[in-house]
Structure 1
Amino acid sequence: MGSHYDGDNGGRRRETRWCAVTGGRGFMARHLVAALLRSGEWRVRVTDLAPTLVLGPGETEEILSDALRDGCAVYASVDVCNLEQLTKAFEGVDVVFHTAAADFSKNNLQLHYKVNVIGTKNVIDACKICKVKRLIHTSSSAVVFDGVHGLFDVNESLPYPDKFPDAYAQTKAEAEKLVIKANGTNDLLTCCLRPGAIFGPGDMVIPTLDRYGWTHVTIGDGKNCDDFVYVENVVHGHLCADKTLSTIEGARTSGGKAYFITNMEPMNMWDFTYLVQEELGHKRISNIRIPTFVIKPASYLIEWAYRVVFSHFGICQPQMLTPARIRYVTLNRTFSCNKAVEELGYKPIVTLQDGLKKAVKLYIQLRKKDLSKR
């Protein structure tokens, strides 16, 4: 076990502990891994599907690279559907941050059930076998969304819906139930976090809006609000949850609970996309508004084309304009974080505007580097 010099503790060295991050090469997980390493309190076992680790550009990757070199991080190729691999990865681990999930853009129930539900069950079982103390599960605000009714400043008392808009929401809800139920079994403490729409360095939102920056498209009446959350705030929420569960009172209060995590700055969804385009330097040439009654039939046709035609030719593109996605982008979806503030001590550490500037600045820097290499 390693140690870390603590200048605030009389110069004594405090022990660093091991934690594991499943799906550790995902968008939010990369930032979580970097924050854990940056804290000096953790050694991190990064697990993901890829057989070998390939580092990309950016600060989070540089932090991981340094940690791998000095032994503060290790990479393990792990499939969450394989209990034996998980058990090996969790040996000697105090805390597991379970972020692994199937790609939300692929509306494949069999895939999502396998990864999100069976995978989460395996993670729980491996935690019990390895006597892991705490399991922090990355859930989603989608677990309370039925795709029919808008959500406005809802809190955690809202029950799961009877029907879900897609396989992702349905299976994430099932996974969350498993994690909540597991709290207190085999001395395992659990907590679930439900982030809003995450954005930040390394996301797909900014590149997509950059690609179509010349126009501003609005679907529906353009009045719906969403709760965006900067990736560093989601990471902060995970660290708050772990810190809370590590105390007797916190474990009693927050063990087996779920919490919404947002920037606490709900805003019109289409205004947000326009802010991104403005920050990227695009001047709006046109403003296209597509009524919902027009786009919905088209979305069913597009989904059919992906499922039947494209798959036949082996074309695997993200299915962005599906009936489910139309529901997500045309209905209100805002959530109260009061419970997370009161019980986890959560408070956003980066404002929406500052997060947007940071994310776009890094994106532009990396884009220039990429262009210079060509």
Structure 2
Amino acid sequence: MAAFGSAGERWCAVTGGRGFAARHLVEMLLRSQEWCVRIADLGPSINLEPHEETGVLGDALKSGRAAYVSADLRLKPQVFKAFDGVEAVFHMAAPDSSINNFQLHFSVNVEGTKNVIDSCIECKVKRLIYTSSPSVVFDGIHGICNGKESMPYPVKFNDSYSETKAAGEKLIISANGKNGLLTCCIRPSSIFGPGDRLLVPSLVAAARAGKSKFIIGDGNNLYDFTYVENVAYAHICAERTLAAGGAAAATVAGQAYFITNVEPIKFWEFMSLILEGLGYERPRIKIAASLMMPIAHVVELTYKLFSRYGMSVPQLTPSRVRLLSCERTFSCSKAKEHIAYEPIVSLKDGLKKTIDSYQHLRAKQQKRTSKVYTYLGNESGVESVKGLERWLR
């Protein structure tokens, strides 16, 4: 199959291109005017969402600078079709990380990644950038402070998603140099931003159910959150460096890079700022992680027994308790030095954009009492804005 469009156009492919972070990457690639983008995803291209019919993506779909290809990574012929004629591949597709289902995660993160690599080699793709995760070096027990890429993979992982992402990462790194293919891995930490269907909706659901008042642990654990546009930008930095050739490309090829906003913040403070920004009460009651863990094990066991009968995925699991109560910060010095990555959106601005994009989820019956919320398009009481005002100063 020939590449879509006329001769001379440069095509790249984004797997999982209709997903949260991938959609931002697709739009950034199109805005650069350097690429035509093939969006490889499970969903049928005829069922477009409203945001896909307008703006830069809508214009690109109409002009032919972007195209959808239905592709299940577990089916190699479909992957091959998606990659035929493209110059670079951004492999961002992954299953839901909140479901601790080893079979599902293995089939996509490992077997699917094998199909991606094989198809890249057969289609003579030049560059492959893989979206990994900082969790590939997290054992679920020990916190990570300013983690470096030299950290080894743990003997035991926190969950099946992390374990299979690490296996996929190893495959990507091992594939570097095969048939001229250059590869590298991006490890973005705790992605947030407009379009996320997990973090903010889950927080709001918990708040509306009266469950957001609790802090697991002492509340002082630092975290690195990464605004979604910075994640997209890091992928572009990596691809451009590999494309430049020479010593720069040789340095980056076969490497992995942590990506953050370079602004560590207390995990529970970050959660509180989002909740307050939408008019909900900030968490205030601290519960020791050791007390929550037995309950989480019971919840997880119950889900395993009753998921076949339609039980929804629980928010409280052992792996989640560990993630919520430990420290996880990572160094971006290697990414800055090798691929010239620096955040293009600050944590403060990313937070404001995120809160603004979820106004449909804000608490009802609020009173406009703060210039901060006037600026953000939110309303809330005096007490609930104090933390956000301190952050935005």
Distance in 1 between the 2:100 and 2:281 partners? 34
Report the Cα offset of residue 218 of structure 1. 0.4
Change over 3 Å in CA distance of 1:60–1:263 after alignment to 2: farther
Q: How does the TM-score come out when normalised to structure 1?
A: 0.90
Task: Give CA-to-partner distance per residue, 1:272-304, whole Å, 9 cap, x none.
Answer: 0011112213344x7222221221011011111
Task: Give CA-to-partner distance per residue, 1:350-372, whole Å, 9 cap, x none.
Answer: 0011001011112216889xxxx
Tell me which moved more, 347-356 or 14-23. 14-23
What amino acid sits opposite 2:310 in the alignment?
A: G
- Report the equivalent of 2:222: 225
Distance in 2 between the 1:223 and 1:146 partners? 20
- Of 191, 209, 219, the match for 2:203: 209
Matched ranges for 1:1-374 at <5 A: 15-58=8-51, 62-203=55-196, 204-213=198-207, 215-248=212-245, 249-284=247-282, 287-309=284-306, 311-315=307-311, 317-364=312-359
SS in 2 for 1:246: helix
Report the Cα offset of residue 314 of structure 1. 2.8
Distance in 2 between the 1:312 and 1:348 partners? 43
Distance in 2 between the 1:147 and 1:202 partners? 28
Distance in 2 between the 1:288 and 1:60 partners? 44
Report the Cα offset of residue 52 of structure 1. 3.4
SS in 2 for 1:47: strand
Count of matched residue positions in the alignment of Structure 1 and Structure 2: 355
- Report the equivalent of 1:7: none
Distance in 1 between the 2:206 and 2:33 partners? 41
Change over 3 Å in CA distance of 1:60–1:237 after alignment to 2: farther
User: What runs of 5+ residues in structure 2 fail to find an aligned partner?
Assistant: 364-393
Flag the structure with higher strand content: 1
* Percentage of matched positions with identical amino acids: 54
Change over 3 Å in CA distance of 1:164–1:357 after alignment to 2: same
Distance in 1 between the 2:125 and 2:250 partners? 17
Change over 3 Å in CA distance of 1:330–1:177 after alignment to 2: same
Q: Is the 8 A contact 2:303 2:313 kept in 1?
A: no
Change over 3 Å in CA distance of 1:354–1:27 after alignment to 2: same
Change over 3 Å in CA distance of 1:61–1:152 after alignment to 2: farther
Report the Cα offset of residue 221 of structure 1. 1.5
Task: Give CA-to-partner distance per residue, 1:173-228, whole Å, 9 cap, x none.
Answer: 00000000100110000010000000000112122223344643200121211110
Distance in 1 between the 2:361 and 2:85 partners? 37
Change over 3 Å in CA distance of 1:190–1:261 after alignment to 2: same
Q: Is the 8 A contact 2:279 2:362 kept in 1?
A: no
Report the Cα offset of residue 139 of structure 1. 0.3
Report the Cα offset of residue 59 of structure 1. 7.9
Q: How does the TM-score come out when normalised to structure 2?
A: 0.86
What amino acid sits opposite 2:213 in the alignment?
A: H
Distance in 2 between the 1:61 and 1:24 partners? 16
Change over 3 Å in CA distance of 1:37–1:74 after alignment to 2: same
SS in 1 for 2:213: strand
What amino acid sits opposite 1:100 in the alignment?
A: A
